[in-house]
Amino acid sequence: MRGRLMAAALMAVLGLGATTQTATALESIDFNAEGASDSLMETLRASSLLLTAQEAERTAPLDLMAAARAEYGRLIGLLYEQAYFAPTIHVRVDGREAADIAPLSNPTTIDRIVVDIVLGPQFTFGEVSVEPLIAGTVLPEDFATGQPARSTTVRAALNTALDAWRAQGYALAAAADQRVVANHNANQLNVRLTLTPGPQLRIGTVVPQGQERTRPQRIVDIAGLERGEIHNPEDITDAETRLRQTGAFASVVLNTAETANPDGTVDVTALVQEAPPRRIGFGAEIDSESGGRLSGFWLHRNLLGGAERLRLEAAVDGIAARVGGLGYTLDARYTRPATLNRDTDLELGLNAVRLNERDYEADAFQADATLVRRYSDALRASAGLILRFESADFAGTSRDFGTFGIPVTVTHDTRDVALNATDGHYVWAEAMPYLGFAEAQSGLRLRFDARTYHDLGSEGRFVLAGRAQLGAVIGPDIDATPRGYLFYSGGGGTVRGLPYQSLGVTSGGTDSGGRGFAGLSAELRVRINDTFSVVAFADAGAVSSGVFSGETDWQAGGGAGIRYATPIGPLRLDLAVPIRRNAGVTGNNVQLYLGIGQAF
């Protein structure tokens, strides 16, 4: 092996490693491993350098000889992983063993290559031990006498033992000695691993590196590693996640120092690479009833040198709508991570919106301040203050509604992919008591949205998705409730196949949104290939004048759609028809919806 490496180095120096010969008509590569199971044969073939070269049409003699010489090491490593420690491997190039062909005497043509593998016996573990172990360590079950002696199992046992020590603050735990002896007479592998845990250590100084615009202290604050805390790899990972979630950094790596400080602490280096400070984006959606929607945003990362974000967004909707007219949304939002503590962000927002709907027109302006707290990867909660003013025209009158609200929300999100989930769930709930002024009465607004996704044992090929929505406004009369707080049904976000916001209630002879809402949706998603999927769906929604009381009506729709995979999420095209059309609602019998991401 040493001679082969020296020869390869000499070839590189002399320039002989470059492919200068033209490809020849390689007739065949025969790959044999007698007695190998189908799964093992598949693994060996998939890892073969020669077969990979053939598939990529790299069949020049120098390429093939380089692959042939490296084939021995590649295959023997895989066989060790499967507990075969006495294999025989032959790689013959036109009848000559590849290892015996001098590097400076490569053949000028190659017609046939044969790889023959004799597995030999599968070894089992004999005597095995890992010492010392910290209390509570559970080694892999396969690391035991009589089990197949796979090299991967040995590595797993070593890593498990070291991780257990490190999780208790022994950050510099390492392997001191590894005695692995193959007993070929008994076909056994004896393994003795010895560890050096070192001292239990605490977090020392967090040292930022690589930043250009971000203040070092803000990196320390966001990472949130407290000096004097027991060093724990899980805490290090959480700190990396907090820094990444700011969006200010393209990459984040936290490295623990290789030596401890005299006071029993160990320093941590936070190596960051900052992301480009600005980003823009655009979006478009089409609904055959409510028209088109165009949106765009401008994002400034690290606005003040503390990983803050400023996002400006604008949207125009109701383009070529069959009912209503043009509306717009303007939104400015500032986010400061690690406010109050490492897991709490501050959000400040200003919003202006023109609503031009079937039953009313309104201009609304809002200012809000919110604290968002992350409790885990899945769970977060927020609380804040919202001041909102709405001027609305409906039922031939004009009214002004002012509200001062305290929204509290909880979100639990375990979806694998937010825009195209195949597993997990998403639950969002909000309660907002508010004080009304001008012509608005005080009340309590409740909203709930739950989504679940179930892979039918098909690795994402067949996915069943469901959604339930609830809403209620408790306290005020309908006429004393801001139009933007009332509920409607119909359209892409509730019931596809029915016109957008086509279902409300009639209050005092005037069409209006309701104070109660319930919606259900179900989808069966079938992936055809890596690019296309098809979807069948059904939706239903109900609106009531009271909180699930008083005048009420419901509607339902269903249809099918197609999805086209893109790097930013699936492109969605849905066609839907009414299943139950409530009285008085007119519109096309076929509704079309186009957008990015799944419907829910």
pLDDT, tens only, 272-315: 999 999 999 988 888 776 778 899 999 999 999 999 999 999 99
Which of 5-19, 561-575, 581-595 is the most confident on average?
561-575
Cα 374 versus chain centre, distance: 17
Closest CA to 53 of 124, 133, 110: 110
Which pLDDT does position 381 carry in this prediction? 98
Inform me whether the pLDDT recorded for 34 exceeds 90. Answer: no
Which pLDDT does position 128 carry in this prediction? 96
Number of residues that this document lists for the chain: 600
pTM for the model stands at 0.78
Both 349 and 423 in one domain: the answer is yes
d(CA 158, CA 332): 52
Identify the burial level of 228 via C-beta atoms within 10 angstroms of its C-beta, where 0-12 means exposed, 13-18 middle and 19 or more buried. exposed
Both 11 and 49 in one domain: the answer is yes
Both 332 and 267 in one domain: the answer is no
Inform me whether the pLDDT recorded for 137 exceeds 60. Answer: yes
Both 63 and 25 in one domain: the answer is yes
Which pLDDT does position 315 carry in this prediction? 94
The CATH code of the domain that includes 142 is 3.10.20
The CATH code of the domain that includes 286 is 2.40.160.50
Parent domain of 235: 202-274
Q: How confident is the model at residue 10 (pLDDT cuts 50, 70, 90)?
A: very low
Q: What percent of the chain has pLDDT over 70?
A: 94
Which of 196, 223, 250 finishes a domain? 196
Which of 250, 274, 298 finishes a domain? 274
- Tell me the backbone φ, ψ of residue 160, rounded to 5 degrees: -60, -45
Averaged over 82-101, what is the pLDDT?
94
Which pLDDT does position 215 carry in this prediction? 96
Both 231 and 111 in one domain: the answer is no
Peptide bond into 132 cis (omega under 30): yes
Half-sphere exposure for 155 (CA within 13 Å, toward CB) = 7
Which pLDDT does position 324 carry in this prediction? 67
Q: How confident is the model at residue 584 (pLDDT cuts 50, 70, 90)?
A: low
What Cα–Cα distance (Å) separates residue 310 from each residue in 85, 298, 299, 340?
59, 8, 6, 19
Inform me whether the pLDDT recorded for 255 exceeds 70. Answer: yes
Which pLDDT does position 16 carry in this prediction? 39
Query: Taking a C-beta distance cutoff of 8 angstroms, is the pair 298, 236 a contact?
Result: no
- Structural domain count of the chain: 4
Q: How confident is the model at residue 104 (pLDDT cuts 50, 70, 90)?
A: confident
Identify the burial level of 529 via C-beta atoms within 10 angstroms of its C-beta, where 0-12 means exposed, 13-18 middle and 19 or more buried. exposed
DSSP bridge pairs for 346 = 336, 371
Write out pLDDT tens, residues 444-495: 999 999 999 999 988 889 999 999 999 999 999 999 999 999 999 998 899 9
Both 228 and 367 in one domain: the answer is no
Both 136 and 29 in one domain: the answer is no
Which of 274, 298, 313 finishes a domain? 274
Both 450 and 556 in one domain: the answer is yes
Write out pLDDT tens, residues 358-396: 889 999 999 999 999 999 999 999 999 999 999 999 988
Write out pLDDT tens, residues 485-539: 999 999 889 999 998 888 999 877 778 999 999 999 999 999 999 999 999 999 9
